[in-house]
Amino acid sequence: MNETTPESEAPKEVKPLKEMQRRILGVLMEKARTTPDAYPLSLNGLVTSCNQKSNRAPVLNLNSDQVEECLVDMRSGGIVAEVHGGGRVPKYRHYGYDFLGVKGAEAGVMAELLLRGEQTVGDLRTRASRFDPIADLAALKTILKSLEDKNLVVALTAEGRGQIYTHNLYESHELEAVKQHVAAGGGGRLATNASSSPRVSGEDLEQLKQTIADLQTQVQQLTERVTRLES
């Protein structure tokens, strides 16, 4: 299914999102690009993807009732839509491109920030490149500048090696807490977690974890299709 892209590049005011809303939007934007055959997502697939332990920070433990209630609010806000295909199980797709006013690599960067929160420019370039290739850090800086102009991202540290960015969809008290954490030397949340793990081809390990998570989503979708056919 083709994703909707914005008709204009004009900056638009984007309202802050609650933590669960950010996770749902990030997941739908991610799965639409990385596992298109399993997209849109069913409620069960969405819950599983929101709670997966790889490529997520913080790790959440949401249940279907919480996610379904949040989806109602997001549907009324024009952020997601419920769609019905050949089966009886409703599925969900995002309107994140229109809601945020982004497309292409910009959308990939926003999806990664929504899924992981604050992170260094180097890590962000590696992770966002699975959506759309980002040639180098200079190319990423151009993308980040465009997102800054749209008031969608915030630089948390000064320009230079290890500069940290995050998205600007936090509620005000959340963003202040993130700024204080980084200012106190907490660094990027994901960078801190990564440094506590054995440094064995970290980039390849990250990609492997994501591949496993994507395969789990596909298995979930296939299981639901088989169940519908048998019924």
What distance in Å separates the CA atoms of residue 53 and residue 31, rounded to the nearest whole number? 15
82 and 108 inside one domain: no
Domain assignment of residue 13, yes or no: no
For residue 11, is the peptide bond before it cis, meaning its omega torsion is within 30 degrees of 0?
no
71 and 137 inside one domain: no
pLDDT of residue 190: 39
52 and 131 inside one domain: no
Residue 36, pLDDT > 50, answer yes
What distance in Å separates the CA atoms of residue 69 and residue 195, rounded to the nearest whole number? 36
Domain assignment of residue 161, yes or no: yes
176 and 214 inside one domain: no
Domain assignment of residue 106, yes or no: yes
Residue 27, pLDDT > 80, answer yes
47-97: pLDDT as tens digits: 999 999 999 999 999 999 999 999 999 999 999 999 987 778 899 999 999
- Residue 81, domain CATH: 1.10.10.10
187 and 212 inside one domain: no
pLDDT of residue 193: 38
34 and 62 inside one domain: yes
pLDDT of residue 194: 34
Domain assignment of residue 148, yes or no: yes
Domain assignment of residue 8, yes or no: no
Mean pLDDT (whole number) for 134-148: 97
Domain assignment of residue 1, yes or no: no
The total domain count for the chain is 2
Domain assignment of residue 201, yes or no: no
177 and 163 inside one domain: yes
182 and 212 inside one domain: no
What distance in Å separates the CA atoms of residue 144 and residue 161, rounded to the nearest whole number? 15
pLDDT of residue 205: 60
Tell me which residue range forms the domain holding 41. Answer: 19-99+208-230
157-214: pLDDT as tens digits: 999 999 999 999 999 999 999 999 999 987 555 333 333 333 344 555 655 666 677 7
HSE, side-chain direction, 13 A CA sphere, residue 227: 8
57 and 108 inside one domain: no
| DSSP codes of every residue in the chain | -PPP--S-----------HHHHHHHHHHHHHHHH-GGG-SEEHHHHHHHHH-SSS-SS-----HHHHHHHHHHHHHTTSEEEE--SSSS-EEEE-HHHHHT--HHHHHHHHHHHHH-SEEHHHHHHHHTTTS---SHHHHHHHHHHHHHTT-EEE-S-SSTT-EEEES-S-HHHHHHHHHHIIIII--HHHHHHHTS--SSHHHHHHHHHHHHHHHHHHHHHHHHHHHHH-
53 and 127 inside one domain: no
